Structures are given as structure tokens and as C-alpha cells.
Structure 1
Amino acid sequence: MDLLNRDAGLARAWFILAMIAADHDRFDRAAELLRRAAALDPADARTLAHLGRALIALNQQAEAIDAAEGAAALTPGDPLTLDTIGVVFSRAGLHARAVPFFEAAAKARPDNAAFLYNLAASRQFSGDFAGAEAAYAACLALEPGHYRAWSSRVALSRQTPGANHAAKLEALFAQPSADADRALHIGHALAKTFEDLGQPEAALGWLVRAKAAKRDAAAHDPARDEALFAAAARTAPATARRRSSSDLPVFVVGLPRTGTTLVDRIISSHPQAASAGELTNFALIAKRAAHTPSNLVLDPETLDAAGRLDLASVGEAYVESLAALRGDARRLVDKMPLNVFYAGLIHRALPDARIVCLRRDPMDACLANYRQLFATAFSYYAYGYDLEHVGRYYLGFDRLVAHWRATLPADRFTEVAYEDIVADQEGETRRLLDFCGLDFDPACLAFHENAAPVATASSVQVRQPLYASSIGRWRRYGAGLDPLRRVLEAGGLTLDPLRSMELERHGEGCREDAHHPHPGGSGRPGRSGSCGSHRQGGA
């Protein structure tokens, strides 16, 4: 600071202070310091790129994109700045825009595995799977133990007896390491491999081994989930209903891996609709309005406090936050599964918004969540490390959805069963569009041809037509899922394997062959939400 007191024009000094703040997750302070540096040296692309990085961490997406575009306009040449610009665009969901910057960074520094990893992830989310495979392979050639690249690479395609990486992955898993994330990624890659090879019991064994260290570290308590579901139910709206200033948003909610991305793509394939991806905007705006002291966006205290507010201003702020994303769309889809906790608050804040809740066979839904490699540090997904905890979470979710069914208007809250989409794609598509106030358009039946980027667990699957391989998947695992079945049945659910068998015979369902590719994941708020992907590359 003595140096700055002597000469406030030293933009480099402000930049260094900003990097220190960012390294300590003080992104608000970092953004302030970077703005000072940029004012003093507006031709420094590096400063603008890192300003964008700080702003995206603060969920100020429009401003972050502007900063990144400003940096890009200065045509930087150093690879770290190029990579940083790519990171900002990718975290804003603009993966196609990010790819050229990652390509330039990787070309300038072909020895940097982090740059190649970021390039691979954005290629994958943009639908360039061959390019993603090449970049993941190059990343692993430089850094054979890059476990995030391994889990992502294996997720890209079906593993076969003649083309798989099981031996390398088993050797990596056997290496001593105290890194629970490393075991999680490598173990999930092995589980995906053995499932593809037709060995579900071996796959389940690898999932158990993969999650063991993370389960112990997380020390997840299902009672916390139960308290959260109960607090959400307390936010149910009063019977009186007002009109809001916007009917733009369509919230797609539910458990992860139950068809939320599929429904997002169906609706956003309509020429009058668009997808915003997985946003944390509503949760963050509600948290700021509630003024609760906890460092969690979603907790019982915050839900209770938000439930006591006049939420009209929250709704207005939420719609305003979508301005840079909507274009000329009549409907904008916000596909954040965790918004199921906010359904009551959403309806009170935005009475004309639509909420679509995905449902799926309980055993399939729970297995899909257990198989999921969540790309986030959010504690809200810690239930996924233990099969019985997944079952208890499902029971809480089921009760909450029943509550919303009873308390929210049927023209604003609807449920869609994944299996029903499989059995009657056109009929359910027409029902969805009618619910959203949109005329039928055949493009919605060809959702897999939608070229828009997908940065979720289904980035591979939703680019393929519907088929039924994931319906009734749980029956392949035999006795290994008995603990889950007992939890669900003890919670009052009647499980019906015959229905899933009939649906499997009826039609072709959406492929769910791949685990979540999990390219990184900062766990910080951003447009990509629970599937945040890119990490800042090293120098």
C-alpha cells in the first residue's frame, strides 16, 4: 500500500492486489481493485479479463460478458489472458464463444494441461464431441493423472471391450492418495466403464468405493435435508393471487438426472423460447432480500425469512437479471433443479411464471442421483454419496412436490413424468407447450437437433433422439439396491417394476449412458449453476 500511496497511477500494483483478493475468494474487492486498474490502463486486456472473472463469480453475468468482450477487442496474445477470457464466456454459458480463446491459449502453450482441459469441456458442451475427445486425450498425455479429464473423457462415449481405459483407471485408483475428489472421479469413470461393459454389479461396487472418502468428509446428515424441505413447504402462497409484470420465465425443477435438461431442450427448441441454462439468480436475489447472516444461499433460516417478505420486488429483480439472456424470446427457461425448494416463493414473486416439475420412477431417480458425479462443491448434493441418504432425500422431495401440487395453481405448476415423455413424446410435448402458452411447433420434437450449447449432465444425451435404455435401469443391479428399496418402502412408497417394464417395451427413452462429464466445477455462483465447468488455467 505504501507504493500505491506514493503513486496511485500504478495500475499493475492495483492488479496485483486484486489477484490477492481473488485468491482469497474476495471477488467483490477484486472487482473494485480491477476497475481502478482498468481506469488507469484501459488498454490492458489482462485486467479486463480478470475483471470479467471476478464479476462472473459474483453472478453479475452481463457485466462479466462486457468485460470479457472488452478484453477480447484488445486482441491479447498471452495464453493466460486468452484462457481467462474463455473461462468467463464458458461460465456465462457461451461455450461456442469460449472455444476460440481456449484454442488460442492451447496453441500458444501446448504443454499446459489446464488449457487443454478447458478447451475440451467447451467443445463438449458445444456438441463437438470428436474435438473434445482429442483435447481430453492431449490433456491426459501431458498429465496422466488429471482425474477430471478422465471422468469427462469416459463420459463422452460408450466404453467397449475393445476400447476402454479400465486398466489405466484401476492402476490410478490403486495409487495412494488422500485426495477424496481424485478417488471420486476415477471411481466414477470406472463405474461408467463397467456399466457400459454390461457389469452393473461391478459398476455399483466402484460407485461405493469412489464415494467412500467424500461421504466420510461430508458427514452428511439427512435431518438437514428434512429441515430444508419443511422450511420450503412453509413458503406456500396464500390463496389470493395477483398478476405480475412478466410471464417470461419457465422454471424447470426436480431432482437432477430425471429429465430436466430434456424438457428444457424441448421447450427451448420452440422459435419463441430460449434456454438460460441453470441459473442461481432467483436464489441469490431472494437471499439478498432476506438479509440472513448465514453463508448459505439455501437454508431454513433464509427460506423462512424470504417467506415473510413482499416478494414483488424479488420477482422484478429476477426478470431484470434476465435482460441480457432473453433476446426476443417470449419464454425463457431456467433449468435449475434446486429451484424446487423455491416454488412457493417463485409463485409469490412471479405469479405468471410457469413451473414444470420433473418426476421419474423412484428407484430409477435415486439410482441416477447416486450415479451422478455432481460438478459442484454445494453441500446440497452431499446426499448423493450414500445410497440410503439418496432414498431419504427422494422421500422429502416427493412430499414437497405433493405439497406444491396441493397449494399452487394448476395453470402455473405442473408435473411431467419422464416415462410419459418416452411413451408419448408428441402428446407430452403438446401439453408442455400449451402449459407454457406456446403453439405447437414440430421443432420441439426434434430437440436433439437443437445446436445450442448444453452445460449439464446431459450434454451428450440430449443431442440424441429418445430411446428407452434408462427406463427400469435399477432392475439390472439386483440385490445391490436393496438398501435403497427398503428406505423407499419404509417411507410409504409402493414400487412398481411392472410399469417400468411396460414403458421400456413401449418406446425409446432418452439415453442416459453417460455420467455427468464433470469438467471441473468451481461451486461458485454462475450461469452454469450446478454444472459449472471451467477452471482457470495455470501459467
Structure 2
Amino acid sequence: MNTPNQLFENAVRFLNQRDFQRAHQCCVDVIQRFGDHPHAYFLLGVIHIELGQINKAIKLLEKSNALEARAVSFAYLAKCFALRGDMHKALDASAKAEPASLTRALDLDTVGVALSRVGLHEKALAYFDKALSIDSSNPQYHYNFAVSNKFVGQFDTARKHFEVAIKLAPHFYQAHFALSDLGKATANSNHIAQLLAAADSASNNIEGRLHIGHALAKEYEGLGDYDKAFFALKHAKAPQAKASEDSLASFSQLFQYLKHDITRSHSNSSDGEQSDAPIFVIGMPRSGTTLVERILSHHSEVASGGELQDFGVAVKSLTKTASPHVLDLATLQAAQQIDKKSIGQLYMERTQYLRNKGERLVDKLPFNFFYINLIRQALPNAKIVCLMRDPMDTCVGNYRQLFSINSPYYAYAYSLNTIGQMYNGFRDWVHAFQQAFPENIRLQSYEALVNDPQKEVASLLAYCNLSWEAQCIDVDKNTLPVSTASKVQVREPINTRSIGRWKHYETHTTELQKLLGYC
């Protein structure tokens, strides 16, 4: 008869072989033969993480900790909460798994990834650093350490560890892209040869093809060869064109519903949660939302939460709709039937830990534009700042950007046509909302902001009921981490270099120009 230790060894072996069924059975055998055992519940939790069953994994890991609280269990709980977008609980769990309490590189890396996933890169670095001190041969550890260094502005350190990751794993596609994304490609110093070599092995791998294609585009842009950059992007994105069409159909449904719903949702502002703390910064990706967040978060009375999922999660949890998606038509429809004040209260509870008493909070999730009417009803005193940038610069910027591949929000971005239609839907919706509720939203021109920052920042602060502070203009001196695609650019002073950048691709975007009304 097997002992518990023998069963655990078998379970770990099967888990490493990704034979989840036999690993699961070993853990169940321990519980059936020897009663509740913390290690059995812990391994069951890890198995369910691997299977993508996060809520079940949380229950199992919490059961393990109830029997015997261990730092390693809290490490994996932090990962689960981060995957679920629950930043507060992820932070709480990680606090019970301090670097000093963990001895395995994998466990340290797990907590680091959880912290970086919720934007806490400075905290994550301590875990990644210790993981590398234990095992410097793992390319993933170097990559994770480099990513967090990139977000906190330590670009030289990031570059060094991306290069190590590639040396250890030449076909590490994400590391190739991340290195190219740091820029500085010149005719005498670039990674084009490496990337072309890696492209062959990536041709049948959708994610690999996207990473290598975008990396090549970055390198060619650095050399001023925009034709090659465009064709690298087009080749990389081609297999995902159908996903873009499907995504656009879903978003079009949402825009249609929202514009219809706005005509019958003039609820009284006294019905909502009355806090004036939140400032929502929204807009299409690549439209300047990060710049505005950096301006506002440099104010002495403002904290930043980054790209928070909390408003959407609050709506989803209160509507209890059956679909697996946080944002969909059924959830928006169901939200009109629930008490709006409860949405506002839950949002404030979920984000309270991000700010000190009396501070305002910037929530910079671009796609919160789908929720602006609910925000108006749930948090009537919140400020909403919507970025409006030149349509071609915005759309070409979306096409040039490698967004999160597995996020349903960005599936529209693999085709210039679907990006253009998405932009038109967004523009029509926010203009309809502004017409109905002009006091609830500020449409902020990106071009006006960068051409005359003194005037526009003063006006922006006044709209947000914030006093003038000259430091807000000095975004390059804002030391907060940047967890967005703009992480390199926003560490520079405000400038106009990005205006008209789309014209590098003018000959390749004729149909998009027609779609957006340029010709």
C-alpha cells in the first residue's frame, strides 16, 4: 500500500508530465485513505490552475491553508486572484508569501508573475531577483525579471535579461518582441537577422508569428523602412483576420445596444454612490490615455490604479450572468435591472486600498467606454475623461501594436478594416453619450494636449476639481510604473512627435482612409 509521500511523489511526477487525470487521482487517493491533507488539496489546486478552473483552484488552495497555512499555497492563491483580476486579494495573498519564506525558484517566480499581472512591478522584482539567484538557467525567469524592469523604466537591465533569455532559448518569441520593443535599432545594430531566423520556426505558431512579425516591424521602423514594416505586420496578422471579424460583430452589437439604451436611462444622479474620488480615463487604445493618467497621477491629491478591471467585474458579479465573459450584451442588459448604487459601492470597496483617505483615484482602462452610462448612474460624481486622437493615427497605432493576444478586448486589432469599424463605433457612441449627458464627460483632444500642455492640463485639472500643480506637466519625472504599451514613450517629456505618424503608412492604408472619411 502506497504511503502519502509515495502518492505525492507520483502526483508531482504526473503533474510535470501534464497527466492531470492521474495526478488528480493520486491526490484523491490520499484524502480517501488518510483523511484531509493540506498537501493533497494544494496539489489539487495547482492541477485546477493548469486546467484553467481558477475558482475551483481558489477553494482548494484555501482549504489547504485552512489545514496548514504555508507560504507556497499563498503564492499560488496570489496567482489565482491575479488571473481573476482581483488585485486586492492578490496583494493580500502575496503578502503572506514573502520572498524570505519561499525557497523554490518556481514559487518565487509564481508570486512575481501574480504581482506583475496586477501592475505591482516594483514588488514583483524582489521575487524575480531571488528566483534568478536560485536558478539563472531558466529563460522564463530572465524574461519575467526583464518585463518588470521595463515597466519601472530600467530599460538597460531589461535589455540585458531579454538578451540572456534569447541566448538560453533562441525561439523565445515573446523575448524577441520585448527586446525589439525597447527600440534603438540602427543599420549597424539591430536584431533583424535573428528575427528572420526565428521566423521560420514561428510560421505555424500563431503567437510566435505575431511576436516575430511585430518585432520585425519595430526593427524595420527603426531603420525607416516602413514598407517592410507594414508587410511584416500584415503577414503576422493574416491568420487572425477571422477572429477580428467575429470580435467586431460582438462589439457592434454592444454599440447598437448602448446607443438605444441611452434614450431610456436618464436615472436620477441621487440614486448612485456619491463619492467623487474616481476619475475614469477612457478612449481607444493608443489614443493618449496613458499620457493623461501620468499627468493626473503626478498631482499630490491623486493616486493611480492603472488599468483596473474592477468596474466591469463589479457589474458582472452583481448581474450574475451565466456567460464566461466579463463584458457582453447579456451583462449590459442585466445591469439595467439592478440597483446602480450597489455597483458604485462595490467598485469603491474593491478599489479603496489603492488610495489614501481623501485622495482621488485614476482608473485608466481604455475599454471602460463601454460602461460610461453605467458609471454615470452608479458613480454620478465621478469624472470621465475620454481621449480623442486623430482617427488615422489611432487606427494605425492599433495595427502597429501587439496587444494581449488572449484578451477578447483586442481581437478586433488584426485587420485595418475591423480597427476602422471599431473606431467608428467608439466615436459614434461617445459622441451620442456626450450629447445626452455633456456634464458627465470631457472629450480631450490628444493633439490639443501635446501642442499646448500648459493650457490643456490646467483645463483638465479644473474639470477634475483639482488645483493647479505645475509638476503635472512634467510626466517624464513621474516615477510610477507604466503597465501599458506606452511604457517607453511616456517617460519622455510631452511632445508632438507622434502626430501624423500614420503617414509613414499612407500608401498602404487607402481603404482605411476611405472608411474613416479621409477621402
3-state DSSP class of the match of 1:322? Answer: helix
| 1:102 paired residue number | 128
C-alpha offsets along residues 358-386 of structure 1, whole Å, 9 cap, x if unaligned?
00011111101111111241223221101
| 2:511 paired residue number | 483
Counterpart Cα distance in 2 of 1:93 and 1:268: 15
| 1:473 paired residue number | 501
| 1:385 paired residue number | 414
Structure 1 residues 220, 240: closer, same or farther in 2, change over 3 A? same
Whether the aligned pair in 1 keeps the contact of 2:71 and 2:97 (CA below 8 Å) is yes
**Displacement of 1:296:** 1.6
The alignment status of 1:52 with 2:78, answered yes or no, reads: yes
Instruction: Pick one of 187, 200, 204 that aligns with 1:178.
Output: 204
Indicate the structure whose relative CO is greater, using CA pairs within 8 Å and at least 6 residues apart.
1
What are the residue-to-residue correspondences of 1:77-96 with 2, within 5 Å? 77-96=103-122
| 2:474 paired residue number | 446
Counterpart Cα distance in 2 of 1:200 and 1:140: 26
Counterpart Cα distance in 1 of 2:415 and 2:85: 31
Whether the aligned pair in 2 keeps the contact of 1:45 and 1:81 (CA below 8 Å) is no
3-state DSSP class of the match of 1:115? Answer: helix
TM-score by length of 2: 0.91
Counterpart Cα distance in 1 of 2:209 and 2:31: 46
3-state DSSP class of the match of 2:98? Answer: helix
Instruction: Pick one of 281, 286, 300 that aligns with 1:252.
Output: 281
Instruction: Pick one of 453, 457, 462 that aligns with 1:434.
Output: 462
Whether the aligned pair in 2 keeps the contact of 1:160 and 1:196 (CA below 8 Å) is yes
**Displacement of 1:216:** 4.1
Whether the aligned pair in 2 keeps the contact of 1:235 and 1:307 (CA below 8 Å) is no
The structure having more radius of gyration, on CA atoms, is 2
Counterpart Cα distance in 2 of 1:430 and 1:85: 40
Which one is further off, 305-314 or 441-450?
Answer: 305-314
The alignment status of 1:231 with 2:257, answered yes or no, reads: yes
Q: Indicate the structure with greater helix content.
A: 2
| 1:507 paired residue number | none
**Displacement of 1:20:** 1.1
What are the residue-to-residue correspondences of 1:131-530 with 2, within 5 Å? 131-175=157-201, 177-216=203-242, 220=246, 222-236=248-262, 237-238=265-266, 240-242=268-270, 244-328=273-357, 330-410=359-439, 412-489=440-517
**Displacement of 1:10:** 2.1
Whether the aligned pair in 2 keeps the contact of 1:235 and 1:345 (CA below 8 Å) is no
Supply the AA of the counterpart residue of 1:77.
Answer: T
**Displacement of 1:273:** 0.2
Counterpart Cα distance in 2 of 1:419 and 1:162: 34
Counterpart Cα distance in 2 of 1:162 and 1:329: 53
**Displacement of 1:39:** 2.4
**Displacement of 1:219:** 5.1
Whether the aligned pair in 1 keeps the contact of 2:244 and 2:415 (CA below 8 Å) is no
3-state DSSP class of the match of 2:184? Answer: coil
Instruction: Pick one of 43, 55, 60 that aligns with 1:16.
Output: 43
Whether the aligned pair in 1 keeps the contact of 2:217 and 2:229 (CA below 8 Å) is yes
3-state DSSP class of the match of 1:358? Answer: strand
Whether the aligned pair in 2 keeps the contact of 1:48 and 1:70 (CA below 8 Å) is yes
Supply the AA of the counterpart residue of 2:67.
Answer: L
Whether the aligned pair in 2 keeps the contact of 1:120 and 1:136 (CA below 8 Å) is yes
| 2:23 paired residue number | none
Whether the aligned pair in 1 keeps the contact of 2:199 and 2:212 (CA below 8 Å) is yes
Q: Percent identity?
A: 38
Counterpart Cα distance in 2 of 1:369 and 1:219: 16
Counterpart Cα distance in 2 of 1:469 and 1:183: 29
Structure 1 residues 216, 77: closer, same or farther in 2, change over 3 A? same
Counterpart Cα distance in 1 of 2:196 and 2:295: 39
Q: How many residue pairs were aligned? A: 489
Whether the aligned pair in 1 keeps the contact of 2:447 and 2:499 (CA below 8 Å) is yes
Whether the aligned pair in 2 keeps the contact of 1:235 and 1:303 (CA below 8 Å) is no
**Displacement of 1:70:** 0.9
C-alpha offsets along residues 157-186 of structure 1, whole Å, 9 cap, x if unaligned?
231111110111122213364211111010
Counterpart Cα distance in 2 of 1:244 and 1:394: 31
Supply the AA of the counterpart residue of 1:448.
Answer: D
C-alpha offsets along residues 17-74 of structure 1, whole Å, 9 cap, x if unaligned?
11111111211111111122122222x3211111111122233322221211111175
C-alpha offsets along residues 391-420 of structure 1, whole Å, 9 cap, x if unaligned?
11111111001111112242x310101100
**Displacement of 1:12:** 1.1
Counterpart Cα distance in 2 of 1:299 and 1:10: 40
Whether the aligned pair in 2 keeps the contact of 1:18 and 1:34 (CA below 8 Å) is yes
Whether the aligned pair in 1 keeps the contact of 2:254 and 2:329 (CA below 8 Å) is yes
Whether the aligned pair in 1 keeps the contact of 2:244 and 2:418 (CA below 8 Å) is no
C-alpha offsets along residues 444-496 of structure 1, whole Å, 9 cap, x if unaligned?
0111111111110111111111222210112222321101112122xxxx57x
Whether the aligned pair in 2 keeps the contact of 1:250 and 1:355 (CA below 8 Å) is yes
| 1:501 paired residue number | none
Whether the aligned pair in 2 keeps the contact of 1:53 and 1:87 (CA below 8 Å) is yes
Supply the AA of the counterpart residue of 1:260.
Answer: T
3-state DSSP class of the match of 1:252? Answer: strand
Whether the aligned pair in 2 keeps the contact of 1:117 and 1:135 (CA below 8 Å) is yes
Supply the AA of the counterpart residue of 2:380.
Answer: P
Counterpart Cα distance in 1 of 2:429 and 2:73: 46
Which one is further off, 214-223 or 313-322?
Answer: 214-223
Structure 2 regions of 5+ residues with no counterpart?
1-27
